Amino acid sequence: LWHETVKALNSLFQQWDAQAVALWNISGEPCSGSAINGTVFEDPANNPAITCDCTYDSNTTCHITQLKIDQNYFTGTLPAFIGNLSALTSL
């Protein structure tokens, strides 16, 4: 599951010529580092950014709940995979 999410996020960033900041792991488990450690989501240095909620299934499953890709000048449509982020509450 995470492999597909990471692949989709990388594809999105490539489409928009953006790169994930080094504060979170875009090559493996995305719900690590700044996505779960309390890094301020709105910090300008944390862009693009994600936040995860890891309280699902008795704290064994994480879901991306926030995806921030602001302060950019993107064009085009959102990719369909965004709809697969069922716990996403903020884009």
Q: Domains of the chain: which residue ranges?
A: 1-84
For the chain, give the longest Cα–Cα distance. Answer: 39
Residue 1 has pLDDT above 60, yes or no: no
pTM for the structure as a whole:
0.72
The larger pLDDT score, comparing residue 62 to residue 14, is at 62
Give the position of tokens 């959102």: 78
Q: Is the peptide bond before 48 cis (omega within 30 degrees of 0)?
A: yes
| Tens of pLDDT, residues 34-91 | 888 888 888 887 777 888 898 988 988 888 898 887 766 667 777 777 777 788 888 8
**Looking at residue 41, what is its pLDDT?**
82
